[in-house]
Amino acid sequence: MKRNPESKFVKLRCPKCKNEQITFGKVSSAINCHVCQEPLAQSTGGKTRFITQPLEQLE
């Protein structure tokens, strides 16, 4: 399976508190952990840069 950052949804796990959350694969603003506010992804120049590796990608 190709890891495509354009996927619709991805599951991210916070490296700090291990919280798992699902977010859009393409985000227009920074994504922070819902629990501890650790940054998980950020948007740079229209591209999503994941700070933590997505666990899986969901259609």
Quick check: 35 binds Zn ion (CB under 5 A)? yes
DSSP string, the chain: ----TT-SEEEEE-TTT--EEEEESS-SS-EE-TTT--EEEEEETTEEEESS--SEEE-
Is 38 a residue that touches Zn ion (CB under 5 A)?
Answer: yes
Q: Name the segment binding Zn ion (CB under 5 A); options: 5-13, 28-36, 46-54.
A: 28-36
The Cα 22–Cα 12 span in angstroms is: 6
Residue 17 binds Zn ion (CB under 5 A): yes
Q: Which stretch binds Zn ion (CB under 5 A): 4-12, 23-31, 38-46, 49-57?
A: 38-46
Which residue ranges make up the site for Zn ion (CB under 5 A)?
A: 14, 16-17, 19, 33, 35-36, 38
